[in-house]
Amino acid sequence: MDTFRLDGRRALVTGGSKGIGAGLARGLAEAGADIVLVARGQQELEQTRDELRTTGREIGICASDLSQTDAIEGTFQQIVQEHGPIDILVNNAGTTRRSPAHELSLEDWQLVLEINLTAVFALSRAFARERISSKRSGKIINIGSLLSSTARQDNAPYAASKGGILLLTKALSVDWAPHHIFVNAIGPGFINTPLTRPLVENPEFNEWVLGRCPMGRWGNPKDLTGAAVFLASAASDFVTGQMIYVDGGWLARF
């Protein structure tokens, strides 16, 4: 269906050099979008850029540390100047610090909130300002988590940040609906990526995931691309303020 095509649009994907971010970028490119990848590592960005060029789309890169939130507005303006207007923003970059809450340092708490929540707001605000000033519509896709709706032991800052993503998504969707800026989120389940590979290879944890997930398997980044293309495209032009969980039924199971 043509309403799912993204031809003539450009998507910025944070944390786009590997894992879920790279998978989402590929899915959007295969649907017709040009891509700008943002991540900290220049070498990984270049490698992913070269891999994504097989889609035939224009692939740009920008090495940036999103924990430096004061610089995000300027970074976004630079991206627009170098690569052109951004029509789709995918806020995927994130981090975590695992610890019992009573042993967690405030520095670790602040780092997780800064990257997972404050940076998302700052980049979304920069995106919205450009869209509003140019009188153009836009699509924002935030990446949440199962921990947007529930919690696991030793993950207080991550759960707080991803719970914040759920409500930030709703709040921004209300503020920016008059400007035709759609704000939605995807909540991945347990996804097999290089980052989670040690958990996949841990027999006890792997058994727990497989036994708990109704579909009986880990997800992979490709499982998320359908939801991303839908939320980025005209097919979702009456959908805003929502989080779509792509979790193999995880949250549905008691």
CA 117-122-125 angle, 5° bins? 120
Q: Predicted confidence band at 254 (pLDDT cuts at 50, 70, 90)?
A: confident
Whether 158 sits among the annotated catalytic residues: the reply is: yes
Stretch 127-144: mean pLDDT: 98
Q: What is the CA radius of gyration of the chain?
A: 17
Could you report the per-residue pLDDT of 101-118, keeping only the tens digit for each?
999 999 999 999 999 999
Q: What is the DSSP string of the chain?
A: -GGG--TT-EEEEETTTSHHHHHHHHHHHHTT-EEEEEES-HHHHHHHHHHHGGGTS-EEEEE--TT-GGGHHHHHHHHHHHH----EEEE---------GGG--HHHHHHHHIIIIIHHHHHHHHHHHHHHHHT--EEEEEE--GGGT---TT-HHHHHHHHHHHHHHHHHHHHHGGGTEEEEEEEE-SB--TTTHHHHT-HHHHHHHHHHSTT-S-B-HHHHHHHHHHHHSGGGTT--S-EEEESTTGGG--
Contact 225, 27 (CB under 8 A): yes
Q: Predicted confidence band at 1 (pLDDT cuts at 50, 70, 90)?
A: low
**56: number of Cβ within 10 Å:** 10
Give the chain's domains with CATH numbers.
2-252 (3.40.50.720)
Q: Residue 143's pLDDT is what?
A: 98
Decide if pLDDT at 219 tops 90. Answer: yes
Distance CA 38, CA 45 (A): 8
* Tokens at 4, concatenated: 């799912």
What percentage of the chain exceeds 90 in pLDDT?
A: 96
* Tokens at 105, concatenated: 């340092």
The per-residue pLDDT of the chain, averaged, comes to 96
Could you report the per-residue pLDDT of 65-84, keeping only the tens digit for each?
999 999 999 999 999 999 99
Among the listed residues 76, 127, 158, 218, the single catalytic one is 158
For residue 28, give the nearest of 1, 47, 8 by alpha carbon: 8
Could you report the per-residue pLDDT of 159-204, keeping only the tens digit for each?
999 999 999 999 999 999 999 999 999 999 999 998 889 999 999 9
Stretch 10-27: mean pLDDT: 97
The pTM (predicted TM-score) of the whole model is 0.97
